[in-house]
Every structure is written in structure tokens, then in C-alpha cells.
Amino acid sequence: MKGPAIFLAQFAGDEAPFNSLPSMARWASELGYVGVQIPTWDARLFDLRKAVESQDYCDEVKGICAEAGVEITELSTHLQGQLVAVHPAYDALFDAFAPAELQGRPVERTEWACRQLRLAAQASRRLGLDAHATFSGALLWHTVYPWPQRPAGLVEEGFAELARRWRPLLDAFDEAGVDLAYEIHPGEDLHDGLSWERFLEAVDNHPRASILYDPSHFILQQLDYLQFIDFYHDRIRMFHVKDAEFVPSGRAGVYGGYAGWGERPGRFRSLGDGQVDFAGIFSQLTHHGYQGWAVLEWECFLKHPEQGAAEGAPFIAAHMIRRAERAFDDFAGAAPDAERNRRILGLD
């Protein structure tokens, strides 16, 4: 496992040091991070089209990060990926993710989002990256609670359409030699293990279809996030280190009663302030041979982002595990001896 790294999206702003990649890279390095995950929708930090058109630009971006003491972990198209599949009920809510000239034009917006993903595949290749982060979008989310009852075949058709939209993009990432990691996230059609399995089957187990694992979303769903690793470790290519808590009451549970983030039973927290068993997660990922980055994603409802960022690097570093090269009791072992083994078994 590599790290600590930090996702820059939630920290970017119009004031220094959060308004440019050079200053953000230096800021992250000074806090102890050795990697940065870069959002491709924020022109203050990255120009996606320029990265596709110019290897010199990509080399410049890598050089900026290297000079600051960090490397690029991955690029992200979370906002563009969301727009690959949007149910009309959510058009107004997600329009802000698209350029102004495409807002109110859902067909053109989807076409733009797909072009963005193709650009991201090429840009990742130019930067020498082998994985990319995104969202799946959602056509079925408005039916997540089955009332009224979902008609027969609805779910199957929903995932078939999702696969029709994503299969060409997965192929584009395959041509670029880059894995496409979907963040498993409520609000997306890929929000838990079963929905991930449906999608994987619909894209014929595409070799580039991968998972961005974020345990905070599983805390809020009350899903066993450690067993999730056991089930899907072979597809987990990214890890967002994000904490959360779930404290239900007689007034609200998983659905939250439309309360704001500060009043919901399920809330995102800064690292160490929530309920996520990070010792267990780092152990499980290490046990299964995870070799990607451990990337802080900060979304705490309470703590200031700069405090969360400052606390994040040492927290991640303290949880990273250097895997043992030999068993603890090897000192008491002996060389293989077939005859001795038979005697121990009482076979001689």
C-alpha cells in the first residue's frame, strides 16, 4: 500500500494556497502527504483537454507535483461520471455538474460527460497512471425503496442500459491501459455489493471495471465493510480513507428524515472521530495484497477542513502496514523432512 495521499477536490478554493496545483501540492507535502488525487473538473488545478493534446503539459504537471514532493495518485471524473446516467427526476439537481451551455439539455450533457471520460482515459495514460476514479451515475436510484413495487424486469433493464453507456467507456480505458474505479456510493446505481455484482455481470466482467472502496458510505448503509473487502478485493483498485458515524434514534435511521448533515444519524467525520474500524480495514486490504494508494477524502460535517487535512496524514501513516516477510514463529521451525513428518503422523 502507498500513502498517505489526499484528494484535492474538497479543499480547492479561490484563495491561496487552494487555488492552484503548485500551491496545493506544496501544502499537501508540508502536511506529510506523498500523493495527490486530482479532480479533472476544476480548471484551477487541471486542464483535461490540454492534458490530452500535450505531453509537455502532462510532463509539466508531473514536474510541479514532483518538485513539491508529491506524486499524482489518480485523476478523478466523479462529477462527469455522474452525468453519464441521470434520471430525469434529478436533472435540475445535477445540471450544475455540467458547463453552463449544456444545462437544461440532458442529451447533450450526457454526450459531453462520455467525451470527458474518454479524455480522462487518454490523460491518465499520458500521465503514466494505471487507474482512474469516477461515479457510475444512476437510472434506478428513485426506486431504491420498493414502494410502489418495482415492475418485473425494471432492475434488469436499468443495469442493461447502464452497461450500454459504460461498456464503450470501459473499452476506451482498456485501450489506454487504465482501470476504471467506480466509487461505491449511495445515490449511484453502484452503491453496494449486490448492485456492483449486477453491473459487473452486465458488462461481462470487463477487466477494467474496478472499485473505489470508501468505508464511510458503508457505515451509513449499515453494510459490513470488512466482509466487503473479502468479497471484492480482487476488484478494489482505490481506497478513500474517510470516516463516518451512524447513531440511530427513535426519530431517524438510515434514511435520515430529510435532516441536514449535522442532524442526521449518519454523518461523515474526520479521521478518528467516527466509527470506522480503520485498523481492521488496513489489515484486510494488506492481507489481500492491496497495492494502491490510501487517499484521504475529507467531508466532516463538524471539523474545519484544514484541521482534518493536517490530522489525516499522520493518521493514515500510523495505520499503514509493512507486511511481514516471514512468520513470527519461523525461528522455531525446521527444514522440511518427509520421514519426520510421517513419524509425527504415526505412519512409520
- pLDDT tens digits, residue range 51-109? 999 999 999 999 999 999 999 999 999 999 999 999 999 999 999 999 999 999 999 99
Is the per-residue pLDDT at 133 higher than 90? yes
Q: At what angle do helices 154-176 and 106-126 cross, to 10 degrees?
A: 30
Report the C-alpha gap between 121 and 175 in whole angstroms.
9
Q: Which candidate, 121, 22, 17, 102, places its Cα nearest to that of 65?
A: 22
Total domains in the fold of the chain = 1
Higher-scoring residue by pLDDT: 185, 332: 185
CB atoms within 10 A of CB 167: 15
* Pairing outcome for strands 236-241 and 243-246: unpaired
Q: Which candidate, 136, 134, 213, 124, places its Cα nearest to that of 177?
A: 124
Residue type, 51: A
Average per-residue pLDDT for the chain? 97
What per-residue confidence (pLDDT) applies to 55?
98
* Pairing outcome for strands 266-269 and 243-246: antiparallel
What's this model's pTM, rounded to 2 decimal places?
0.95
Rg (CA), the chain: 22
What per-residue confidence (pLDDT) applies to 279?
98
Domain range for 86 is: 2-344
Contacts of 30 (CB under 8 A, 6+ apart): none
Report the C-alpha gap between 114 and 4 in whole angstroms.
31
Report the C-alpha gap between 306 and 16 in whole angstroms.
13
What per-residue confidence (pLDDT) applies to 335?
81
pLDDT in tens, 236-251: 999 999 999 999 999 9
253 burial (CB, 10 Å; 0-12 / 13-18 / 19+) is middle
Is the per-residue pLDDT at 346 higher than 80? yes
Which grid cell is 226?
A: 470488512
Percent of the chain with pLDDT over 70: 99
DSSP code, position 183: E
Using DSSP's 3-state secondary structure scheme, residue 182 falls into strand
Report the C-alpha gap between 178 and 168 in whole angstroms.
14
Which grid cell is 286?
A: 494488506
DSSP code, position 4: E
Is the per-residue pLDDT at 342 higher than 80? yes
Average pLDDT over residues 119-127: 98
What per-residue confidence (pLDDT) applies to 348?
75
β-sheet bridge partners, residue 267: 245
Is the per-residue pLDDT at 331 higher than 90? no
Is the per-residue pLDDT at 225 higher than 90? yes
What per-residue confidence (pLDDT) applies to 230?
98
pLDDT in tens, 1-11: 999 999 999 99
Contacts of 213 (CB under 8 A, 6+ apart): 184, 228, 229, 236, 238, 239, 240, 285
Instruction: Residue 18: give its domain's CATH number.
Output: 3.20.20.150
